């Protein structure tokens, strides 16, 4: 079971690594941040809810449902918008470094606000992962877009809060169901915004 969990972490990290690359291609094809995120969440919403339906899972209710909707409609939506905007404004390497400030922020919030006990291995892991990320993506400090940097820090901060909130609520239900509700809530946020400003439909295979 631990091996499977470790494998999922590797897949998740790899997917996050590819995400800014796909985003860059999407921008080059003429799409904007809002359109990318709208269809990203909309497609995922359709697929996940179909899977939930055919598997016979039940959706949560009450407080748990409210927390999940908040995580998706607010936290994940803001984090995604901030991060994808960062990739559009500054280099993917710098955007990745800024996003991966979130483990440090999670640790700081856990210690200072949640009064969690910090262990030497937590510090060691944080230092090693930060150094590793820096060595992999590199750093480019010239011609920095300040707005892009601020959005990148915002993405990391909101993601840290998202993780801390999710760590408790996800223990109370199936993780796939929780993910489905979060993604669906995020999709509704972007659908509402898209309806307000006008929805652009991708027109060619490259954009899709």
**Half-sphere exposure (Cβ direction) of 1: Cα atoms closer than 13 Å:** 0
> 16-69 pLDDT, tens per residue?
888 888 888 999 998 999 999 999 999 999 999 999 999 999 999 999 999 999
CA nearest to 160, candidates 76, 51, 46: 76
Q: How confident is the model at residue 141, as a pLDDT?
A: 58
Question: Residues near 115 by Cβ (< 8 Å), separated by ≥ 6?
Answer: none
Query: In the prediction, which pLDDT does 139 show?
Result: 58
Instruction: Supply the pTM of this predicted model.
Output: 0.83
pLDDT of residue 21: 86
Distance CA 16, CA 35 (A): 19
Query: What pLDDT does residue 42 have?
Result: 96
Token pair belonging to 44:
């995922």
**pLDDT tens, residue by residue, 128-162:** 777 766 665 555 556 678 898 889 889 999 999 99
If one counts every other C-beta atom within 10 angstroms of the C-beta of residue 8, the result is 11
CB 129 within 8 A of CB 100: yes
Check residue 123 and give its pLDDT: 80
């Amino acid at each position: 079971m631990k091996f499977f969990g470790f494998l999922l972490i590797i897949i998740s990290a790899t997917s996050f690594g590819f995400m800014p690359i796909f985003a860059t291609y999407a921008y080059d094809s003429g799409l904007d941040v809002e359109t990318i995120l709208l269809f990203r969440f909309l497609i995922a919403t359709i697929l996940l809810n179909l899977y939930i339906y055919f598997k016979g899972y039940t959706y949560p209710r009450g407080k748990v449902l409210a927390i999940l909707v908040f995580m998706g409609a607010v936290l994940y939506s803001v984090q995604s918008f901030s991060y994808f905007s960062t990739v559009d404004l500054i280099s993917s390497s710098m955007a990745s470094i800024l996003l991966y400030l979130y483990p440090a922020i999670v640790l700081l919030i856990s210690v200072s606000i949640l009064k969690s006990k910090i262990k030497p291995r937590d510090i060691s892991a944080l230092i090693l992962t930060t150094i590793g990320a820096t060595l992999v993506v590199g750093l480019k400090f010239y011609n920095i877009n300040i707005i892009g940097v601020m959005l990148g820090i915002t993405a990391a901060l909101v993601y840290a809060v998202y993780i801390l909130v999710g760590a408790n609520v996800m223990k109370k239900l199936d993780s796939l169901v929780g993910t489905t509700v979060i993604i669906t809530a995020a999709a509704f946020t972007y659908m509402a915004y898209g309806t307000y400003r006008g929805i652009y439909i991708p027109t060619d295979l490259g954009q899709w």
